[in-house]
Amino acid sequence: MYRELQKQLIEAVRTILETSWGLEVSDVVLEQPPDLAMGEFALPVAFELARKLRKAPRMIATELAEKLSTTLRPGDGFLSFEAAGAGYINVRLDRARLMAALASGSSQRPSEELPRVLVEHTSINPNKAAHVGHLRNAILGDTLVRILRARGHHVDVQNYIDNTGVQVADVIVGFLHLEHQTAPEVEALIARCEALGPEAREQRFDYHCWNLYARVSQWYAEGSEDQQKERKQLRYQTLHAIESGGNETAEVADRVSTAILRLHLETMLRLGITYDFLPRESEILHLRFWDRAFQLLKESGVLYAEQSGKNAGCWVMTRPGGGNSGEGPDEDAKVIVRSNGTVTYVGKDIAYHLWKFGLLGKDFGYRRFFAYPDHTCFISCMEGEQEHPHFGGARAIYNVIDSRQSDPQANVVQALRGMGHTEAADQYTHFSYEMVALTPRCAEELGYTVAEEDRGRPYIEVSGRKGFGVKADDLLDKLTAATRAEVDARQPERSEAERQRIAEQIAIGALRYFMLKFTRGSVIAFDFRDALSFEGETGPYVQYTAVRARNIFRKIGMTPESALAAVESLQSMELAVGAEDIWAIWMRAARREQTLETAISSAEPSTLARHCFQLAQEFNNFYHKHHILTEEDAGRRSLLLATAAIALRELTILLEWLGVEVPEAM
């Protein structure tokens, strides 16, 4: 109903402007007054018209308000229109009617066919344990998936696995040439680690590789010049062996990366994050996706063979911003195929994205890989199972990838556009976000020595190569331990299993909210003090609020649904009119869908996190001010109960979108 009122109002303003003044305004701006007591909507349109009409804004506002009140009647849901301030028009709604509509939950969105979308997120190199930076990616991605589904899209979730890249190669170099292990020995190690189970963190295979990767990176940089050259050569030999496949090195790499991949999936599952499909680079190579893409790129003229200059002998592509000045070679062009004939990462990515949009004319084989409680995750392979869901061929895609990759991402879009796939290019969203870094203090806490010059900086970038960072599982364990201690103290009568479950839910709530409350563009300077805080603008604060609301209904022995159903027969709704703290909660509920739309169109989940937190604040304020159980006036009590019920309903929906559960008790 709220949305319809907005539309009606904007339409009415447009009509009046046209018929009375013969004016056309492209965009009628609708705002909220700074204080709810002033009304539900505010129209600043009079300011815009002041110049055209050569009249004071306030006068225009008065006139327009008058016309509006004869057009939109109380029967439509509008109560009054009045000029305010220097020239605003404040609009009051029929609160009782809006409340009734909200309580009955009649905010159905049209069931039109929404396009199938594809979200790629997580995409961790399978060569080491996941860290906080990966958590930000996965949590942002998973939340995006949840809100797209809430809007009504069919969403396929993909986690791209670069199992044949240089990072995997580095760890394999470590196993084979630094530790001098044989293939069976590596396999035995994986088996031993798996037998220990996920609880033995320090002995986990991905933790082992975390350290090994750091050692190898250091090993490359050590020794004499000749040694370094030799080691670098070893590195590329290993990489090429892995890329070509069908040899023992590739076999070991596959075992190692697959074992780590499973651990990553388990880590993410702790946070309630799941995937539908895991496309791997090995299949993109062996199924020759690139050959087909190369052909298409040449045919469309996107790629051209550079004849001279520094890129002579390469197949290159003009960059999005740049362009050939006409004279001589475009030195700024992006190399896609090297002079030795090998394809770069961006080239493979173009092929992969043609597949995503169903424009390649090739497909993966699919095989079952990981079982979730409610569905199965498939992985790419050469020859797959007979029956499998179809992935790819999406109308719109979102790539959750940090901002450092904006250049290669732009290249892929440029290629699509150049090939004439303008619709695909328009529906390609690089959901970029800034990295997670560590505060210098946090780095020191972890036992890393911080260079003097870094000590003054607000943050230090994590580095997998240096083994510098906070591992995802360690952080989750730390959060769980901290919440567990608090739960033990507060809920001593509950069973061990219950308390553990609650502690985990709170830990996840804290972590997910922490990652979501920042806007995408801001670097998160990670610090345990902030992340382990459960007060103020945090997940546990919101969870606690929902638990509080639910306790009211448990205590009184009635359901929130029946409290909402009672709104119809409320005689005392006028009470809400004077009580802005109550009305604020209902208005918050009214704005939910609009906030969802904003979050999606701006690809900014933090909008929803903030909305959710503000609702929690409003409810806590209300909770403190009104004591429901001891309220004697029956009508007023019904109003208070309905308000608690709407708050609980909204909090539950919003937290679900954010991937945060409401614990039994806190």
Q: CB-wise, 332 or 363, nearer to RNA?
A: 332
Q: CB-wise, 350 or 394, nearer to RNA?
A: 350
- Which part of the chain contacts RNA (CB under 7 A), choosing from 34-42, 93-101, 360-368, 440-448? 34-42
237, HSE (Cβ side, Cα atoms, 13 Å): 11
Q: How far is CA 407 from CA 282, 320, 430, 556, in A?
A: 24, 9, 10, 58
Q: CB-wise, 313 or 393, nearer to RNA?
A: 313
Among 544, 583, 586, 657, binds RNA (CB under 7 A): 544
Among 228, 237, 500, 533, binds RNA (CB under 7 A): 533
By CB under 7 A, the residues from 99 to 158 that bind RNA are: none
Q: CB-wise, 31 or 444, nearer to RNA?
A: 31
- Which part of the chain contacts RNA (CB under 7 A), choosing from 176-184, 289-297, 309-317, 420-428? 309-317
State the residue for tokens 């061929």.
393
Q: CB-wise, 264 or 334, nearer to RNA?
A: 334
Minimal distance in Å, beta carbon 405 to RNA?
7
By CB under 7 A, the residues from 248 to 307 that bind RNA are: none
Separation between Cα atoms, residue 288 and residue 229, nearest integer Å: 32
Minimal distance in Å, beta carbon 364 to RNA?
18
| Residue 311 binding RNA, by CB under 7 A | yes
Q: CB-wise, 288 or 404, nearer to RNA?
A: 404
Q: CB-wise, 194 or 498, nearer to RNA?
A: 498
Q: CB-wise, 391 or 613, nearer to RNA?
A: 613
| Residue 54 binding RNA, by CB under 7 A | no
Separation between Cα atoms, residue 310 and residue 660, nearest integer Å: 53
Sheet holding 304-305, edge to edge: 304-305, 315-317, 334-337
Q: CB-wise, 245 or 408, nearer to RNA?
A: 408
| Contact (Cβ atoms closer than 8 angstroms) between residue 416 and residue 114 | no
Among 313, 365, 393, 635, binds RNA (CB under 7 A): 313
Among 22, 24, 35, 632, binds RNA (CB under 7 A): 35
Q: CB-wise, 598 or 652, nearer to RNA?
A: 598
Binding mask 547-586 for RNA (x = CB under 7 A): xx--xx--x-------------------------------
By CB under 7 A, the residues from 461 to 480 that bind RNA are: 461
Sequence-distant (≥ 6) Cβ neighbours of residue 74 within 8 angstroms? 94
Q: CB-wise, 240 or 262, nearer to RNA?
A: 240
Q: Both tokens of residue 582?
A: 């109550």
| Residue 403 binding RNA, by CB under 7 A | yes
Q: CB-wise, 178 or 435, nearer to RNA?
A: 435
State the residue for tokens 């770069």.
344
| Residue 50 binding RNA, by CB under 7 A | yes
400 DSSP β-pair partners: 431
| Residue 607 binding RNA, by CB under 7 A | yes
Separation between Cα atoms, residue 214 and residue 438, nearest integer Å: 18
Q: CB-wise, 77 or 87, nearer to RNA?
A: 87
| Residue 6 binding RNA, by CB under 7 A | no
Q: How far is CA 47 from CA 44, 50, 164, 508, in A?
A: 6, 5, 60, 47
| Contact (Cβ atoms closer than 8 angstroms) between residue 29 and residue 46 | no
| Residue 652 binding RNA, by CB under 7 A | no
| Residue 628 binding RNA, by CB under 7 A | yes
Enclosing H/E stretch for 595: helix 592-601
Q: Both tokens of residue 72?
A: 């939109």
664, HSE (Cβ side, Cα atoms, 13 Å): 13
Among 94, 142, 156, 162, binds RNA (CB under 7 A): 162
| Residue 617 binding RNA, by CB under 7 A | yes
Minimal distance in Å, beta carbon 579 to RNA?
14
Binding mask 55-74 for RNA (x = CB under 7 A): --x-----------------
**DSSP secondary structure code for residue 179 in this structure:** S
User: Per residue, what are the HEC states of 450-472?
Assistant: CCHHHHCCCCEECECCCCECCEH
Minimal distance in Å, beta carbon 592 to RNA?
13
* Nearest residue to 125 (alpha-carbon basis) of 260, 271, 252, 255: 260
* Nearest residue to 239 (alpha-carbon basis) of 353, 352, 162, 350: 162
| Residue 536 binding RNA, by CB under 7 A | yes
| Residue 518 binding RNA, by CB under 7 A | yes
By CB under 7 A, the residues from 330 to 389 that bind RNA are: 332, 335, 338-340, 342, 344-345
Binding mask 583-602 for RNA (x = CB under 7 A): ---------------x----
| Residue 623 binding RNA, by CB under 7 A | yes
Longest Cα–Cα distance in the chain:
89
Separation between Cα atoms, residue 261 and residue 379, nearest integer Å: 11
Separation between Cα atoms, residue 577 and residue 39, nearest integer Å: 11
Number of residues that bind RNA (CB under 7 A): 95
- 580-590 and 95-103 helices, crossing angle to 10°: 50
428-441 burial, b at 16+ Cβ within 10 Å, e below that, comes to bbbbbbbbbbbbbe
By CB under 7 A, the residues from 412 to 431 that bind RNA are: none
- Which part of the chain contacts RNA (CB under 7 A), choosing from 363-371, 377-385, 391-399, 620-628? 620-628
By CB under 7 A, the residues from 176 to 235 that bind RNA are: none
What are the DSSP calls for 512-545, one per residue? HHHHHSS-TTSPEEE-HHHHT--SSSSHHHHHHH
